[in-house]
A = this chain, B = another copy of it.
Amino acid sequence: MTPAAADPRDGIGWRVPGDETRIAGRADGPLAGLRFVAKDLFDVAGVPTGAGNPDWPRGRPVPQAHAWAVARLLDAGAELVGKSITDEVSLGLLGENAFYGTPLNPRAPGRVPGGSSSGSASAVAQGAADAGLGTDTGGSVRVPASFCGLYGIRPGHGRLPLDGMAPQAPSSDTTGWLTRDARAFAAVAEALLGDGPGPLPTRLLIAEDAFAFAEPETRAALGPAVARAERLLGAGRDVLLAPQGLSVWGRAQRTLQMAEAWQTFRPWVEAAVPRVSYLVGRSLMTGAAAPAADLPWAALMRDEARGRLAQLLAPGTVLCLPATPGPAPSKGLPLAQMDRARDRINCLCALGGLGGHPQIVIPAAEVEGAPVGLSFVAARGEDRALIDLALALAEAA
């Protein structure tokens, strides 16, 4: 064993190195006793926001105020117990941070936790917190929820204020959360969405193209969870989610997201010339180098996807699909395999950024001993119906 053989990416924690953040919630709030972590893209007053990159905080003022979501949870009585590792500047779906380590996926220790809300998922899955605040632009809550066997939500786009959350691609950015159980999932929903329980969805659609795209073992393993949803909501109807192709949707979303991300990060990159992992640098350059002619095409495809989702998801309807094509990949894959894993995940997650509908992931199955989640998408504005569905399915289990 030589020191040169140590890989800093083999970290097992969830916490930002050096972080000691701990803030009590308001006494006797409704979330009293609930411990939460905040992804290091959320401002906490008096603590530099790190955004997962060592050259991000340099030259930036230390936040003077909490991010909206942090303040809201503290005000509801929850206790903030730390800031959690994120993929660098939220660019990543696997959860490997080359500077701060790969947070442990306790349900599948040799595999990635999923990202970019990797540390929040890890902290919750390890039991170090009951809830984790995350962000989801292209799948950053949904993917770690699926890989770590958690509940997770990407609220409808625009549903929650994003003040104090570092942006990536504003037309897709959302604040979400992850929990181990459905009750905590609903308790946080009440604090953040502000809605109480309501009626369950009444119609179930099953995205047959998305199930066909998943790995065969995952498709099979999710069958019993789909059957439970059918017992609750009535028989599902098979539909095509993306008539143009999930790969086409994935391409449109990635084109728009990376171009927007470049607009967001360009001033920083060009002034600070930061250290980045090669993977993240390449994603930034993908956005920088996007052919101008691709953007109008991608915007038109987004229009088509929005129309398709609005058509499918009338009020009271939910659409069901695999959250990810399979369970978490192994840690430390070579670049080409990381690319392929990310691209496949993106095909199933693209509907989030393209359509802006609320979407949840629930723990649903295991494949080779590793978790994989089932996802439900609702009509715009029906975020709460998805929470109630998660509660009802948990009670029925």
Contact = CB atoms under 8 A, between A and B. Distances in A.
Nearest to A267: B334
B4 A275 contact: no
Interface in A250-304: 269-271, 273-279, 281-282, 284-285
A28 to B, nearest CB: 35
B48 A2 contact: yes
A6 interface: yes
A342 interface: no
A57 interface: yes
B62 A4 contact: yes
Contact of A338 (B7, B55, B99, B273): B273
A98 B275 contact: yes
A321 B354 CA distance: 57
A336 interface: yes
A335 B275 contact: no
Residue from the set A5, A271, A278, A281 with the largest chain B CB neighbour count within 10 Å: A278
Given A4-B57, A5-B58, A335 B273 contact: yes
Nearest to A289: B289
Given A4-B60, A59-B4, A278 B276 contact: yes
Contact of A335 (B3, B59, B269): B269
A194 B6 CA distance: 41
A161 B199 CA distance: 78
Given A2-B48, A48-B4, A335-B269, A274 B58 contact: no
Given A62-B2, A98-B55, A278 B282 contact: no
Given A99-B275, A273-B334, A273-B338, 13 more contacts: A4-B48, A4-B58, A6-B58, A7-B58, A8-B54, A269-B335, A270-B334, A270-B336, A271-B334, A274-B278, A275-B275, A275-B278, A276-B278
